[in-house]
Amino acid sequence: MELKGIMLSTITEHSLIEERDNILIGLSGGPDSMALLYALLEIKEKIPFLIYIAHVNHGVRGKDADEDEKFVEELSKDLNIPYYSTKIDMEGYAKLHKMSSEDAGRKLRYGFFREVLSKIGGGKIAVAHNKNDQAETLIMRFLRGTGIDGLGGMEYKSGNIIRPLLDISRDEIENYIEKNRIKTRLDKTNLIPIYNRNKIRLEAIPYIEKNFNPNIIDTLWRTSNIMSEDSNFLNKYSLNKYKEYMKIKKKDSIILDRNEFIKEDDAIKKRIIRHSINDLTGSLKGITSKHILDIVELFDKGETGKSINLINNIVAETSYDDIVIRLGNSEDRISYNYNISLGKPIYIEETNFFIEAKILPRSEAEINFKDRFIKYFDYDKIEGGLCVRNRLRGDKFIPLGMNGMKKVKDLFIDEKVPLNKRETIPIVTDDKNIIWVVGFRISEKHKITSSTKNVLIIKYVKA
Amino acid sequence: MELKGIMLSTITEHSLIEERDNILIGLSGGPDSMALLYALLEIKEKIPFLIYIAHVNHGVRGKDADEDEKFVEELSKDLNIPYYSTKIDMEGYAKLHKMSSEDAGRKLRYGFFREVLSKIGGGKIAVAHNKNDQAETLIMRFLRGTGIDGLGGMEYKSGNIIRPLLDISRDEIENYIEKNRIKTRLDKTNLIPIYNRNKIRLEAIPYIEKNFNPNIIDTLWRTSNIMSEDSNFLNKYSLNKYKEYMKIKKKDSIILDRNEFIKEDDAIKKRIIRHSINDLTGSLKGITSKHILDIVELFDKGETGKSINLINNIVAETSYDDIVIRLGNSEDRISYNYNISLGKPIYIEETNFFIEAKILPRSEAEINFKDRFIKYFDYDKIEGGLCVRNRLRGDKFIPLGMNGMKKVKDLFIDEKVPLNKRETIPIVTDDKNIIWVVGFRISEKHKITSSTKNVLIIKYVKA
């Protein structure tokens, strides 16, 4: 079957487009989004809907990007399709908000798409992710260790975003482009240094195709479909159980029936806890499987009065026949303090990270100042032993590049760190001073200089 | 925690060993199984059980293997542990039964272990699979496209096989061996050319560790644990539903309540069908996800009288409020016949394979006589068009290396092909003759010779 036919059945099967929908196409000008545009134009003859085009100039590689923009603008005029465009400062935004370029680009892009949607009176955003993108996503997530919920991959429909090309391979797109003599621009987004994804596409997949499975793209696409099915069922089932076992729901707490909860399998218990946290705080960001596991254990044991403090000010506790997930008050504040031994990673349970410290002579230390989570200190200026803890009232230090003392609290305010995050951010100290507010600033006094002989290297790494 | 401690908690958590159990250790003499032996000897002081040793000489690399055997025998004597050994002809068995050396080795090895168990009055077989083996298994299965049931990996306990080292990494084993100064033999099984697993271990994992995730072994071990949990829940839940919806179960058929069945999610429907087939025939061998999907569609539509014939003589059909999985009678026999176009793969739905044919000049054809599923023919001896079909009454041909005609039926008898398999085996013919009984024999008349100018290459490949 050719592209249009496959896409039509994808659209029908997953109810991606309905009659009279406004469909906003994110059009880079590259082969994927161009194929999406032309195939949607064909399908519009069967399902009447409205097409709009949006183009985002990412503000990288100046002239080329401007030409892409012009190309899409002229095309929209020729095809007589309403056209919207914007120029974003992806790199600047990434720097400012301390996120990867990829995340920054995505955030700004979808922000703009939503803006346009609200101008045109609502609708759906069609993006051009294809079967190969899906396979790449699955491999990345498998290597990162996501369970079945992640291995479902990108969804055909998530909120108002639709992905009509998800059943179509890059080869099929190229054939379609060639057969229909569609002019395209080289897809610049593929050249954006999304390091891991490019490595997966250019190295890992060809290696797998050659050595293990020549049909890996199709195989992983099937895997994603099966995983979605299983994961959707598990989430639906556990959501029903969550509602069934809920006794009370308030703004700052949720109480569940312990006697029913403990009868469930771990697979369901864990999901019920996730549903509770998500329901209470609107997000699962930062919640690790270790956190969930700890709560399951707490709830299983059911010792009245026992509780766990999690990140984001979340508290889990048991009380007779009740299990409770709630927002903490000031007494529940997290507090930790670990001694750091040189050469031996220390696990920080409260953040699910390791901290590692070692000493190297200046001549042997390879220094990379850009990494937020590896920092270098003049070892001979360190007084006494090292430890890592969360902030204490009145914490202050001289941040790198400054002359005077600054309160850690003020640093957090300047850096726009949300209140509930401030409690967990690790602070490395020696016996006298703060030497590093991890992820933010090292101390001016302890920085390495031309006279540094021994470098203390401290790494903060995900467990 | 050190090896013994981790192993003890694995044993306790998964109830691997109970008091007075007979534990038979498969001891190659390599580091893994030696660590297993010594750690079990330590643990025996906490949980009293009996240890037995079994060694299998795989009959490859003569002298070395004999020395391994002697090493294990002497060790058993020194430790005063009952010892059993056998010599198997792995390669011969593999050839005879047309299986991989790995599969043959596994079959013979476990066969012997079971024999020993029955001599000693029952018990459990302890094997030395570790965390790294588990990660390798997960990667292989992910690349092959298994869903969550496969990504659970090897189980801590399956039947009477236990895997106490599954939470322990290869590094931890090596440390234990070194610290306790345990003498080991180079583990020969790691050198047996299990091509894919060695490639995963020696190439893929180091590449992943370097580029994507330095903790990939731990990551995948966690994935396997989470996947097992989810998969166990789904299987338990769907097994209960299967029993709940079952109206009648006879020796040759199972009838389920269609009205209840169709209310379930696809994830559960598919598992209910698998449970039915497994319950009816004792196995799911050869059943693909395509088969299951076809049955779900049939049952969803529910047109009375419609049916599907599957491999292994299984029939699925609908009849009013009933859905039926049963063993077929003679009228249900599968029958298929597809024309083969050169250069274009033909999908054989009944076997879930593709067949592909192409022509190359003799000089350009690279020939590999060993592959059972790629065969070469003298194209100029082919008469008319090619087709592929299942066997017909009275089929016969001159098998390669013979002078006279032979019935396909007799070939199947000689090759010990089970009755229910014979119906689906593909037979490639030209307009006049059988040229290939796929997987078994080509025709003498059509083989390539020194005077062959054009080679017809036919491949039979898994879809």
Mean pLDDT of A415-440: 87
Cα separation, A249 vs A324, in Å, equals: 10
- What local confidence, expressed as pLDDT, does residue A65 receive? 87
A37 vs A164: CA distance, rounded Å: 11
Chain A residues in contact with B212 by the CB 8 A cut-off are 140, 143-144, 196, 199
The whole-angstrom separation of Cα A81 and Cα A59 is: 24
pLDDT, mean over chain B: 90
Nearest to B143 among A140, A208, A289 (CB): A208
Q: Which burial class, exposed, middle or buried, applies to A366 when counting CB atoms under 10 A from its CB (0-12, 13-18, 19+)?
A: exposed
Model confidence at B188, in pLDDT bands (50, 70, 90)? low
Testing the interface with A: which of B230, B273, B291, B300 to mutate, by most A Cβ within 10 A?
Answer: B230
| Minimal C-alpha gap between A257 and chain B (Å) | 21
- The verdict on a CB contact (< 8 Å) between B236 and A145 is no
Which of B142, B229, B266 lies at the smallest CB-CB distance from A266?
A: B229
- What pLDDT score was predicted for residue B184? 93
Of A322-331, A448-457, B370-379, the poorest mean pLDDT is in A322-331
d(CA A269, CA A145) in angstroms, rounded, equals: 20
Q: Which residue has the higher pLDDT, B290 or A78?
A: A78
Q: Do B236 and A199 touch (CB under 8 A)?
A: no
Using the Cα atoms of residue B380, residue B386, residue B391 and residue B393 in order, give the sign of their dihedral. Answer: negative
Q: Compute the distance between CA of residue B106 and CA of residue B108 in angstroms, rounded to an integer.
A: 6
Q: How far is residue A396 CA from its own chain's centroid?
A: 32
pLDDT in tens, A15-69: 999 999 999 999 999 999 999 999 999 999 989 999 999 999 987 777 888 999 9
Q: How confident is the model at residue B417 (pLDDT cuts 50, 70, 90)?
A: confident
Q: Is A143 on the interface with B (CB under 8 A)?
A: yes
Partner B contacted by A352 (CB < 8 A): no
Residues of B in contact with A131 (CB under 8 A): none
pLDDT digits 0-9 by tens, B44-95: 998 999 999 999 998 777 788 899 999 999 999 999 999 999 999 888 888 8
The reported pLDDT for the residue numbered A111 is 94
Q: Tell me if the domain spanning B250-331 has CATH number 3.30.465.60.
A: yes
Predicted local distance difference test score (pLDDT) of residue A35:
97
**A contacts of B267 (beta carbons < 8 Å):** 229-230, 232-233
Q: Which residue has 């720097």 as its token pair?
A: A95
Integer Cα distance of A356 and A386 in angstroms:
11
Which residue has better confidence, B365 or A268?
A268
Q: CB of B389 within 8 A of CB of B355?
A: no
Tokens of B326: 């049963």
If one compares A315 and A288, the residue with the highest pLDDT of the two is: A315
Across A262-269, average pLDDT: 96
According to the model, what pLDDT value does residue A365 have?
A: 84
Amino acid A192 reads I
Q: Between B148, B236, B268, which is nearest A148 by CB?
A: B148
Q: In terms of CA atoms, which chain A residue is nearest residue B266? A: A229
Band (pLDDT 50/70/90 cuts) for residue A311 is confident
Mean pLDDT of A348-361: 88
Per residue in B387-412, pLDDT (tens digit) is 999 888 888 999 998 888 999 999 99
Query: Which member of B213, B230, B266 has the closest CB to residue A229?
Result: B266
Average pLDDT over residues A215-232: 94
Q: Does the beta carbon of B227 lie under 8 angstroms from any beta carbon of chain A?
A: yes
Q: Is A222 on the interface with B (CB under 8 A)?
A: yes
What is the pLDDT at residue B462? 84
Q: Residue B289 and residue A226: Cβ atoms within 8 Å? A: yes
CB pairs under 8 A between A and B: 92
* C-beta atoms of A226 and B143 within 8 A: no
Q: What is the ipTM of this complex?
A: 0.73
Q: For chain B, which residues make up each domain, given as ranges?
A: 3-227, 250-331, 337-462
Instruction: List the single best residue of A131, A143, A202, A203 to mutate versus B (max B Cβ within 10 A).
Output: A143
Band of pLDDT at residue A320, cut at 50, 70 and 90: confident
Chain B residue numbers touching A227 (CB-CB < 8 A): 147-148
pLDDT for res A172: 95
Q: How many angstroms separate the CA atoms of A417 and A409, rounded?
A: 10
| Partner A, chain B 154-213, Cβ-Cβ below 8 Å | 196, 199, 203-204, 207-208, 211-213
Q: What is the mean pLDDT of residues A227-237?
A: 96
Contacts of B300 in chain A (CB under 8 A): none
Cβ contact (<8 Å) for B230 and A142? no
Residue at B381: amino acid letter: K
pLDDT tier for residue B331 given thresholds of 50, 70 and 90 = low
CB distance A34 to A27 below 8 Å: yes
pLDDT at B382 over 70: yes
The predicted structure's pLDDT at residue B396:
92
Structure tokens at A300: 């299983």
* Interchain CB contact of B347 with A (< 8 Å): no
Distance from CA of B171 to the nearest CA of A (A): 17
Of B143, B146, B234, the CB nearest to A212: B143
Annotated binding site of A for ATP: 28-33
| pLDDT the model gives residue B420 | 66
Q: Is A143–B230 a contact, with Cβ atoms under 8 angstroms apart?
A: no
**Which carries the bigger pLDDT value, residue A192 or residue B346?**
B346
> What long-range pairs does A114-123 form, CB within 8 A, spacing at least 24?
A114/A160, A116/A24, A116/A52, A116/A54, A116/A84, A117/A22, A117/A24, A117/A160, A119/A84, A120/A22, A120/A24, A120/A52, A120/A82, A121/A22, A122/A22, A122/A160, A123/A21, A123/A22, A123/A23, A123/A24, A123/A50, A123/A52, A123/A160
Torsion, Cα of B104, B106, B107, B109 (10° steps): 110
Q: Are A269 and A245 in contact (CB under 8 A)?
A: no
B225-258 confidence digits (pLDDT tens): 999 999 999 999 999 999 999 999 988 899 999 9
Q: Average pLDDT in the B107-122 region?
A: 94
Detail the residues of B annotated as belonging to a binding site for ATP: 28-33
Report the pLDDT averaged over residues B146-174: 94
**Does B266 touch chain A if contact means CB atoms closer than 8 Å?**
yes
| B215 CA: distance to closest CA in chain A (Å) | 9
Check CB contact of B137 with chain A, cutoff 8 Å.
no
DSSP B223-241: HHHHHHHHHHHHHHHHHHH
Min Cα–Cα distance to chain B from A423, Å: 28
Contact A143 B208 (CB under 8 A): yes
pLDDT given for residue B287 in this prediction: 85
- Choose the closest CB to B148 out of A220, A227, A236: A227
**Of residues B145, B236, B267, nearest to A223 (C-beta):** B145
User: What average pLDDT is seen over chain A?
Assistant: 90
CA-CA-CA-CA torsion for A56, A59, A60, A65, nearest 10 degrees? 50
Task: Say yes or no to pLDDT of A90 above 60.
Answer: yes
Q: What is the pLDDT of residue B16?
A: 97
pLDDT for the residue B290: 84
Highest mean pLDDT among A25-29, A96-100, B309-313: A25-29
CATH number of this structure's domain A337-462: 3.50.40.10
What distances in angstroms separate CA A180 from CA A37, A187, B308, one per listed residue?
12, 18, 40
Q: Which residue has the higher pLDDT, A100 or B181?
A: B181
pLDDT at B192 over 70: no
CB-CB neighbors (< 8 A) of A212 in chain B: 140, 143-144, 196, 199
pLDDT at site B332: 59
What does the pLDDT read at residue B81? Answer: 97
What is the rounded (10 degree) CA torsion for B253, B255, B256, B262? 90
Residue B299: pLDDT above 90?
yes
What's the pLDDT band for A149 if we cut at 50, 70, 90? Answer: confident
Contact of A293 with chain B, judged by CB distance below 8 Å, is answered with no
What lies within 8 Å, CB to CB, of B291 at 6+ separation is B310, B311, B352
Enter the CATH code of domain B3-227: 3.40.50.620
Per-residue pLDDT, B187: 61
pLDDT at A333: 64
* Interval B10-53: pLDDT, tens: 999 999 999 999 999 999 999 999 999 999 999 999 899 999 99
Q: Do residue A143 and residue B196 have CB atoms under 8 angstroms apart?
A: no
Say if residue B133's pLDDT is above 80. yes
Is pLDDT above 80 for A189? no
Residues of chain B in contact with residue A211, where contact means CB-CB under 8 angstroms, are: 199, 203
Q: Judge whether residue A188 has pLDDT over 70.
A: no
SS (H, E, C) B109-177: HHHHHHHHHHHCCCCEEECCCCHHHHHHHHHHHHHHCCCHHHHCCCCCEECCEECCCCCCCHHHHHHHH
Gap from A240 CA to chain B (nearest CA, Å) = 14
